[in-house]
Amino acid sequence: MFDSVWYNLLTKPLFTPPTRVFAPVWTFIYLTIFVSFILFTLKRTRRSKIRGYIYFLVQMLLNIIWIPLFFILKNPGLALADIILLDIFSILTAKNFHKISKQSGLILIPYIIWLLFATWLNAGILFLN
């Protein structure tokens, strides 16, 4: 799927986790995103959920796009722009979800923390290489 040789040759920032850490962390993160989305969707309310659905879809699209930008195009600059937008839309998603279902908003906190860490890693790779 991606060029591991290219990635392994990059100079990485301090505190970059070993490659084997990413799959289990992202598995946990995607599970929390799914649970959050389900809680948001199932919550009965008179308030409109349209904005929450839009923010959610945008952040998921940005999440999916990051992988080819970084690993296939080998473009940490475009990937950084993408992940900054992803940070913004993930925070907007969490805030909007929280208005409808407090639990669904709070469940996204580990995702946002991980994204901010990933943003720092992406920026570090961009500036170190």
Q: Is 69 helix (H, G, I), strand (E, B) or coil?
A: helix
Q: Encoding tokens for residue 24?
A: 């289990």
CA distance 68 to 71: 5
CA distance 85 to 29: 18
Classify residue 74 as left (phi > 0), alpha (psi -120 to 50) or beta: left
Going residue by residue through the chain, which has 129 residues, state the pLDDT in tens, using 9 for 90 and above.
566 889 999 999 999 999 899 999 999 999 999 999 999 999 998 889 999 999 999 999 999 999 999 999 999 999 999 999 999 999 999 999 999 999 999 999 999 999 999 999 999 999 999
Long-range contacts (CB closer than 8 Å, 24 or more residues apart) made by 105-111: 105/36, 107/32, 107/35, 107/36, 107/39, 108/32, 108/33, 108/36, 110/28, 110/29, 110/32, 111/29, 111/32, 111/33
Q: Could you give the residue ranges of the DSSP H alpha helices within 11-108? A: 19-42, 50-67, 76-100, 102-107
Within 13 Å, how many C-alpha atoms sit on residue 100's CB side?
24
